[in-house]
Amino acid sequence: MTRAVSRVPGVARARFLTLLVSIAAAAVAFVLFLQFGAADGLDSLDIARAALILISTWWLAWGAAQGLMGLTTQAVAPVRPQPDGPIRGRTVVLVPVYNEDPLTTFSRIAAMDASIQATGVEGVFHFAILSDTRNDDIAALEKLWFLRLLNDTGGAGRMFYRRRSENTGKKAGNIEDFFARSGAAYDYALILDADSLMEGDTIVEMARRIEAEPDLGLLQSLPKVIRANTRFGRAMQFSASFYSPVFARGLAMMQGRAGPFWGHNAMVRVRAFAESCGLPELKGKPPFGGHILSHDYVEAALLARAGWRVRLDDDLEGSFEEGPENIVDHAKRDRRWCQGNLQHSRLILAPGLKLWSRFVFVQGIFAYIAPLFWLGFILASIAAAVLAAPHNYFPEPYWPFPVFPANEKSKAISLAIGIFGLLLLPKLLIATDAAWSRRARGFGGGARAFASTLTELLLSSITAPVFLMYQTRSVLQVLFGRDGGWPANNRGDGTLSLSEAWAASNWISMIGTAGFAVTWFLAPDLVFWLMPVVLPMILAPAVIWWTARPSRSRLFLTPTESSAAPVVVRHDAIRAKWVGHGPDLPGLGALPISAQPEPANG
């Protein structure tokens, strides 16, 4: 096997340029706001608002610069290993489940197994279903559907199922338990989520790549969202397919040897993971203590600390997942991520970590506290308008003519345009590049892809204040000691009634209404500027309900909708066949349920 070329050359330059661009943009915003505030006399509130603009603009500029890096720089693709010959190492596909629909989950496994068999590659590929299900009725169905899986695939001896009596450590503990009991049987492990789906060719290619590089500890693919039906879901699906590859390429240029791990659709070297990734239980009670919820970032950092390379290969196709279909389900999942990322504040100074890993922790924390800075800026602006002293038009004694303050509105407008530009420009450039490079053909052509981009930008602008409030609440809940736990994901159709949307967001509507009223009476000059924020908040229930409706538009078309991936077609066919028959078929009871694979000799 040939060794892959490292992406390390140019990493320092990519990081420096991205940091330079983001700091420069933040500095310009800071200076412009100070000049605007100084027009009628600079005070402490002006300085505070300028500081909030500085921090918030840096965060926006960092994301924009990462996208521009992905557009303007050609990532160094790894040298692909020989496409033929057997794979010497043994690979296990890990499927952790927690109160999932067994029919859908086990039919996904059957589809991936069939896809692997269709490659004709010689090698050992096993599946292990790791159940943390707490519902006994669902657990009983899992066993029946597992027997159906064995019967239909002939998977006895290479497919295994076990259910833990205690779900200590959640998903991370589930995988750690498997490695402790059975990890010695395998060289590589593909870690999935219950909603993951991957092409056999992709799984084989990842095994070849990790086998070709003895120092590669983790190989992360870039999953695409599939099967979205609602307006919100299809917008997210379009973003994951259209924008994410470009932003991921920018990230890949900066990661060096300390790349990302997103917890699923990634292959790990079992020995590296088992030796390096034992997670500590943080002292104290949740939310800051206990088991680490956002374990994937920590595991990537621990692998890098131990000298293993962690890499994102953005050229890998055939990696899929499903996403939340409405804002409420997204917010529930985001609440867990918020708590997990804020836990990382206790790990930033952990001994031996790479500098980039520490910076990733800071980024993850900032992703959730950034809304607090924007909210602080809004509140400070209202306070500044209320507390502003009347302007003295005759500051010079005995001077008969009034002195008017300098008009600095042009600077305020320039600042607003610049901030919106950081949000809009990268996506518009991605749409332009896609049309120029003909990548847009898979999204319905250049014109439709551009229309989808504009629509997604509008939808993001409307939903952003709603997300701002959900994230602010999540941060405050964690800071005040409320544990959000690990709720099960909702895999349903995602539609919400208006009453359900109201129940989930009436507090946002009330805060928006109160904020509008206070601004109207205390600082009427700011009403126009705050309307893009407060109006979506007031209408939050309607926004959530409308975006959770099924989408009939031809916008947000993605390549997987134009031409379904083979593994998706397989899964649909298997699931349709199983729906009509059920798991309890004659003869299934004679098949054994294998709790654990046996470790390899030696």
User: What pLDDT, in 10s, does the model give residues 120-165?
Assistant: 998 899 999 999 999 999 999 999 999 999 999 999 999 999 999 8
Query: Residue 194 corresponds to which tokens in the numbers above?
Result: 């219950």
Residue-level pLDDT at 494: 87
Count of domains forming the chain: 1
Q: For residues 57 and 23, is the Cβ–Cβ distance under 8 A?
A: no
C-alpha dist (Å) from residue 72 to 33, 246, 438, 546:
30, 10, 16, 37
**Does residue 114 carry a pLDDT above 70?**
yes
Q: For residues 334 and 470, is the Cβ–Cβ distance under 8 A?
A: yes
**Does residue 470 carry a pLDDT above 90?**
yes
In a domain, 494, yes or no: no
pLDDT-derived band at 33, boundaries 50, 70, 90: confident
Half-sphere exposure at residue 164, Cβ-oriented, CA atoms within 13 angstroms: 24
SS (H, E, C) 419-432: HHHHHHHHHHHHHH
Residue-level pLDDT at 420: 82
DSSP label at 495?
-
pTM of the model: 0.90
Could you tell me whether strands 197-198 and 319-321 are parallel, antiparallel, or unpaired per DSSP bridges? Answer: antiparallel
CATH classification at residue 556 = 3.90.550.10
92: domain range? 86-388+407-487+548-583
Q: Across all residues in the chain, what is the average pLDDT?
A: 88
Among the residues of 438-486, which ranges form H helices? Answer: 446-479
The type of residue at 116 is: I
Dihedral sign for Cα 183, 187, 193, 197, please. Answer: negative
Catalogue the long-range contacts made by 407-414 (C-beta closer than 8 Å, 24 or more residues apart): 407/39, 408/35, 408/36, 408/38, 408/39, 411/32, 411/33, 411/35, 411/36, 412/32, 412/36, 414/32
C-alpha dist (Å) from residue 451 to 424, 430, 443, 526, 557:
14, 13, 11, 32, 11
**Does residue 46 carry a pLDDT above 90?**
no
Residue-level pLDDT at 381: 87
**Does residue 319 carry a pLDDT above 70?**
yes
Top-ranked range on mean pLDDT: pick from 42-46, 501-505, 522-526: 501-505
Residue-level pLDDT at 137: 94
Calpha distance 89→208 (Å, rounded)? 9
With DSSP H G I counted as helix, E B as strand and the rest as coil, what are the percentages for the chain, rounded to 5? 60, 10, 30
| pLDDT tens string 47-76 | 999 999 999 999 999 999 999 999 987 655
| pLDDT tens string 482-515 | 998 777 677 667 899 999 999 999 999 999 999 9
Dihedral sign for Cα 351, 352, 355, 361, please. Answer: negative
pLDDT-derived band at 32, boundaries 50, 70, 90: confident
Residue-level pLDDT at 400: 53
Top-ranked range on mean pLDDT: pick from 121-135, 374-388, 390-404: 121-135
Residue-level pLDDT at 600: 41
**Does residue 477 carry a pLDDT above 90?**
yes
In a domain, 41, yes or no: no
Pick 84 or 586 by higher pLDDT.
84
**Does residue 529 carry a pLDDT above 70?**
yes
Strand partners, 219: 267, 311
In a domain, 501, yes or no: no
Residue-level pLDDT at 590: 40
Chain-centre distance for alpha carbon 23: 24
Cα-trace Rg, the chain: 26
Residue-level pLDDT at 202: 97
The region of weakest confidence among 122-126, 312-316, 372-376, 482-486 is 482-486
Residue-level pLDDT at 39: 67
Q: For residues 170 and 293, is the Cβ–Cβ distance under 8 A?
A: yes
**Does residue 399 carry a pLDDT above 60?**
no
The region of weakest confidence among 29-43, 196-210, 495-509 is 29-43
Residue-level pLDDT at 2: 34
- For a pLDDT cut of 90, what percent of the chain falls above it? 72
**Does residue 602 carry a pLDDT above 50?**
no
Residue-level pLDDT at 140: 95
> Is 573 strand, coil or helix?
helix
**Does residue 249 carry a pLDDT above 60?**
yes
In a domain, 137, yes or no: yes
Residue-level pLDDT at 80: 64
**Does residue 389 carry a pLDDT above 60?**
no
Pick 383 or 449 by higher pLDDT.
449
**Does residue 395 carry a pLDDT above 60?**
no
Determine the average pLDDT of the residues in 224-234. 96
Determine the average pLDDT of the residues in 7-15. 73
CB count in 10 Å sphere of residue 15? 18
pLDDT-derived band at 393, boundaries 50, 70, 90: very low
**Does residue 325 carry a pLDDT above 60?**
yes
